């Protein structure tokens, strides 16, 4: 039986795994975690771990149009494709 299928066990996910599941850039996952929009646990200074159950809750809230990660309303919801810094900007001829 895998960890995922065992009752009462909650799998821990890395930033990269959360980014892949939500379809966003890892820097956005880190920013949401730092801003308290995505519940997670800091491991050391730079690493984060997130419970799969928290990710499922976030996905349900996003689908239902409720609060995104307990933060913004639907009208002001966070867009996972939004830019998080000037480094995310791409010149038109670089695409």
Taking only the tens place, the pLDDT of each residue in 29-54 is 999 999 998 999 999 888 999 999 98
Is residue 22 situated within a structural domain? yes
Residue-wise pLDDT for 39-93, tens only, equals 999 998 889 999 999 888 888 887 887 655 444 444 445 555 555 555 555 555 5
**pLDDT beyond 70 at 28:** yes
Number of H helices, E strands in the chain: 3, 3
Give pTM, 2 decimals: 0.58
Is residue 82 situated within a structural domain? no
CA angle 24, 25, 29 (to 5 degrees): 85
pLDDT of residue 45: 86
Is residue 85 situated within a structural domain? no
Helix 52-64 × helix 15-22 angle, to 10°: 30
3-state secondary structure of 12: strand
**Residue 43 is part of which domain span?**
13-63
* Domains of the chain: total: 1
The CATH number of whichever domain residue 31 belongs to comes to 1.10.1660.10
The answer to whether the beta carbons of residues 17 and 28 sit under 8 Å apart is no
How many CB atoms neighbour CB 33 within 10 A?
20
**pLDDT beyond 90 at 14:** yes
Is residue 94 situated within a structural domain? no
Is residue 21 situated within a structural domain? yes
pLDDT band at 9 (very low <50, low <70, confident <90, very high): confident
């Amino acid at each position: 039986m895998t960890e995922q299928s065992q009752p009462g066990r909650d799998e821990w996910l890395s930033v990269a795994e959360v980014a892949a599941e939500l379809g966003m850039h890892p820097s956005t996952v880190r920013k949401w975690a730092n801003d308290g929009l995505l519940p997670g646990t800091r491991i050391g200074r730079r690493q984060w771990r997130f419970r799969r159950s928290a990710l499922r809750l976030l996905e349900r809230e996003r689908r239902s149009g409720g609060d995104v990660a307990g933060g913004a309303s639907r009208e002001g919801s966070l867009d996972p494709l939004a830019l998080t810094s000037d480094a995310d900007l791409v010149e038109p001829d670089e695409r």
